[in-house]
Amino acid sequence: MGTNRANEASELKVSADVGRWLPRRSSQAADWGAGELLAIKRGTTVSVVIPARDEEKTVGDIVRTVRRDLMETVPLVDELLVVDSRSQDATARVAAEAGATVVAQDSVLPMLSGMAGKGEALWKGLAATTGDLVVFVDGDLYDFTSDYVTGLLGPLLTDESVAYVKGFYHRPLVGSSGTDADGGGRVTELVARPLLNMYWPELAGFVQPLAGEYAGRREVLESIPFVVNYGVEIGHLIDILESRGLDALAQVDLGKRTHRHQSTQALGRMAGQIMLTLFDRLERYGRLISAQPPATLLAQFQRGESGHGVSREMVLTDLACQQRPPLSGLRAADGSGRREIA
C-alpha cells in the first residue's frame, strides 16, 4: 500500500496548492499575544459565541476565562454570548452567573419556526451578536484557555485576506479505561477527512476540519448558509473554499483539546449528517451528480425490547441536511440595515 510520511522522498504528495497553503496559512496560538492584538484591533469589534446544550458542568469556566483574560484584563473581546440550545439543565443560569449574555436559541428571530441542532445555535448566535469578527467556541471543553480565542483572532486581525480560521489541536479520547492521547476526533478521522480528501483535496491540509473552535469575518459568515445540525462545520469549509478560495482560509495550532465525548451511536448520527451535507455540496457545486439522491433515514439498533425479529430496539433518525439561509439575505429583507437582527 502506497503510504509515506510527508517528509520522506516518495512519489506520494498532496497538491502543490496545499503544499504552498500549509506553511503560509498555518500558525501557532503563541504567535499572537492578547496585548499585541489589542494594539492592532482598533475599531474592529469581536464577539465570542458559545453554543451550549446541557453544558452546566463546563460552560461556566469557559465564560469566566474569556471574561477575566479578554474582557477585563485585556479588552480584546467586546461581546460574549452563550446560546442556550434547548438545555434541560442549568446551562443558562451557570453561564449568566459566570458573566455571559445568554440567549435562548428559539428566542432569536422568533418569526422563524425553531429548529434543533448545533448549527442552529451557531446561526442564532451570529444573528444575535454584532461583532465584526465572530469566534465560536464549544461549551463542553475541559482545558479551554483564552489562547484559543487570541490564536483564532490573530490571522484575522493581521491579514485582511484571511476570512475564516479553524483551530487544530491534539485530541485525547478520555474514556473509563484511560486516555488515548490522539484518539479523539473519531468522526473526523473515520468520515470527514477521508471524504474531504476524496472530493475536496484542496482541504486536505486542515488538521482538524471539524474543529468546534473557529472564527470568521461577519460579512463572510453572513454570506453562507448554516446547516442546522452537525454538518455545519464541513458545510462552512466547503462553502468558503468554493466562494473565496483556499487562501481565504487559515488554521492555528491551539495545543490540546479535551471535551465531553458522545456515544458511538450519537457519532453515527453525526457522521450521517456530515456525509449528507457533503453529498449536498457535491451536487450544489457540480462535483458529483447522483442518479438517486441519498436516503436520509438512519436505522440504528440498541439493546431494548425485541422487535422486527432481531431482539433489539430499532431507533430511526432523519438526518436530512436542513439549513438556514445566509443571514445577509434576511437582513436585506428586514430592510432595517441593523447589524443585529435577532
Ligand X SMILES: O=C(O)[C@@H](COP(=O)(O)O)O[C@H]1O[C@H](CO)[C@@H](O)[C@H](O)[C@H]1O
Catalog residues that contact ligand UDP under the rule CB under 6 A: 51-53, 55, 85, 116-118, 121, 138-140, 212, 259-260, 262
Find the binder of ligand X among 138, 202, 239, 253 (CB under 6 A).
138
Lookup: cell for 132: 465584526
Alpha helices in 42-200, H assignment, sequence order: 59-67, 91-98, 118-127, 147-158, 186-187, 193-199
Q: Return the residue nearest ligand X (CB atom).
A: 212
Confirm if 166 and 214 have CB atoms less than 8 A apart: yes
Find the binder of ligand X among 125, 184, 205, 225 (CB under 6 A).
184
**Binding partner at 330 among ligand UDP, ligand X, none, C-beta below 5 to 8 Å by kind:** none
Map residues 185-214 to x or -, x wherever contact with ligand X holds by CB under 6 A: xxxx---------------------x-x--
Phi, psi of 292, deg, nearest 5: -120, 110
Lookup: cell for 226: 448554516
Q: By CB under 6 A, is residue 136 in contact with ligand X?
A: no
**Binding partner at 280 among ligand UDP, ligand X, none, C-beta below 5 to 8 Å by kind:** none
**Binding partner at 115 among ligand UDP, ligand X, none, C-beta below 5 to 8 Å by kind:** none
Query: Could you say which DSSP state residue 295 is in?
Result: P
- The one-letter code for the residue type at 120 is E
Q: By CB under 6 A, is residue 124 in contact with ligand X?
A: no
**Which of positions 247-306 make contact with ligand X (CB under 6 A)?**
259, 261-262, 267, 270
Task: Tell me the C-alpha distance between 159 and 103, whole Å.
Answer: 32
Q: By CB under 6 A, is residue 125 in contact with ligand X?
A: no
Q: By CB under 6 A, is residue 117 in contact with ligand X?
A: no
- Sequence-distant (≥ 6) Cβ neighbours of residue 236 within 8 angstroms: 164, 214, 216, 224, 226
